[in-house]
Amino acid sequence: MVENNRLELKRELNDSLEKEVVGFLNYSEGGMIYIGISDDGAIFGVENPDDTQKKIIDRIKNNIYPSTMGLYDVSTEDHHGKSVIKVTISSGPEKPYYIKKYGMSPNGCYIRLGTTAQPMPTEMIDLLYSRRIRNSLGKLISPRQDLSFKQLKIYYEENGFDLNEKFLSNLELLTEDGKLNYAAYLLSDSNGVSMKVAKYSGENKVNLIENAEFGYCSLIKATENILNKLDIENITKTELTSSVRKEKRLIDTTALREAVINAIIHNDYSNGIPPVFEIFSNKLVITSSGGLPQELTQEEFFEGISAPRNKELMRVFKDVRLVEQLGSGVQRILSIYSKDIFKFSANFLKVVFPIEVYDENAGKNAGKNAGKNAGKISDIELPKLNSTQIEIIKLIGNDKHITQEEISNKLGRHESTVQRNMKKLQAMNIIVRVGSSTDGYWELEKLKFAN
């Protein structure tokens, strides 16, 4: 492990912590600090990691301005049997950040250059301050001040937190003059923000068949309801191949969850446009407003560099465990899908998940190969399948709702013959009946045929 522009190593916690954190907050890519590892890579560890973590969190929270809430993670890692503390810092949206006691000056403002945090020139401080985002959720006043937070309190209690009377201040849901801000509005029990999942019958928006509303409530509740809805729509398809019965979701569940949460957390709500979720026959499209944050390039986005647009939401979503780690969402998606599913424009960011159209002929040759390879299935010796049984497997592979009468007609065999062979296939755990004889269907069991 070697220091670089995004990595700082410290043998122990010292007085320069704030300077290094500020340097990464003001740097376009953010960075990481490891405490317990010297700058030559030697691992010393930390004797009391829990106590050290608390000190780090307290110093970052109280000694740096503007607020760093939602912009950093502090965790403990094991390195060769020794506890090392990792501090992950995002690039901040409200630059310049500075050490409070030195103010917005070269003594208080730092920026990461190479392997060190350097004092920021006065000209850069003035330029960054003039560009500071003034329409952040924390600064925008809620259109309503009569808000309640019963749902938010329930989510916190379920995750082991007790919101006291100061929670509005602690979660930064108030403006500087004490009014409820827009983040509070989004997290309240009732708001005017729509969250819809639209479903179309084809590949375009011509035929809308469903337009489900999940908004007008706490953003956390809306997020969970949208995730549940999309999980229902993300059905499992079954394919019987020559060697195994495969079950696969239309879209990878982990990638879909990350994309949904990212769209909701990083959406630019200041323009009044909520994220949109659209299901087509060949794709699922998630659109968030605002495009990439101005300090983040596409390359940095794909590298997993975090620059939260709405740090107040990020903090809350982390607290209720909807978000696990800063910058991890995009990387999880890219571990499964290519960069091509992301579509960028000046004002919007789209994630387009392709939906593989299910091949109705899947399993067409399964029976043939099943019979060829039949014998040892999951280490259980089975009799060789006859031609009728092979044909039955092929037909069920094509249509799980097929009836015994239909199989009899297609095969040109007496229904009693079909019934007898299907009972044998059931006894061998190759097919199974799900549901009643009238409303149920057939499934091919998860048995792997030996080669």
| Segments of 225-298 assigned E as strands | 236-240, 245-249, 276-279, 283-289
Q: What is the pLDDT of residues 218-235, one digit of tens each?
A: 999 999 999 999 998 988
Looking at residues 57-67, what average pLDDT do you find? 94
Q: What is the pLDDT of residue 326?
A: 67
The CB density around residue 259, as the number of other CB atoms within 10 Å, is 28
Look at 103-107, 281-285, 397-401 and tell me which has the smallest mean pLDDT: 397-401
Instruction: Give dist(CA 161, CA 251) in Å, integer.
Output: 33
Cβ partners under 8 Å of residue 189, min gap 6: 147, 148, 149, 150, 151, 152, 217, 218
Q: What is the pLDDT of residue 279?
A: 96
Helices (H), 271-414: 298-302, 311-319, 328-334, 366-373, 387-398, 404-411
Cβ atoms of 86 and 104 within 8 Å: the answer is no
Largest CA distance in the chain: 92
Over pLDDT 90: what percentage of the chain? Answer: 55
Look at 102-111, 136-145, 158-167, 370-379 and tell me which has the smallest mean pLDDT: 370-379
Q: Which domains does the chain have, with CATH numbers?
A: 7-131 (3.30.950.30), 196-354 (3.30.565.60), 366-444 (1.10.10.10)
H helix or E strand, kind and range, residue 376: strand 376-377
Cβ partners under 8 Å of residue 217, min gap 6: 151, 189, 190, 191
Q: Which of 147, 148, 234 is nearest to 197 (CA)?
A: 234
Q: What is the pLDDT of residue 449?
A: 40
Give the model's confidence band at 245: pLDDT under 50 very low, under 70 low, under 90 confident, else very high. Answer: low
In one letter, which amino acid is 256?
Answer: L
Q: Which of 290, 330, 269 is nearest to 90 (CA)?
A: 330
Give the model's confidence band at 379: pLDDT under 50 very low, under 70 low, under 90 confident, else very high. Answer: very low
User: Backbone phi, then psi, for 13, in 5-degree steps?
Assistant: -70, 125
φ/ψ region of 431 (left if φ > 0, alpha if ψ in -120 to 50, else beta) reads beta
Q: What is the pLDDT of residue 120?
A: 95
In one letter, which amino acid is 329?
Answer: G
Looking at residues 423-443, what average pLDDT do you find? 83
Look at 155-164, 195-204, 334-343, 413-422 and tell me which has the smallest mean pLDDT: 413-422
Q: What is the pLDDT of residue 243?
A: 57
For residue 146, pLDDT over 80 is answered with: yes
Q: What is the pLDDT of residue 28?
A: 87
What DSSP character marks residue 178? Answer: S
Give the model's confidence band at 384: pLDDT under 50 very low, under 70 low, under 90 confident, else very high. Answer: low
For residue 148, pLDDT over 50 is answered with: yes
Q: What is the pLDDT of residues 129-139, one digit of tens each?
A: 876 755 678 88
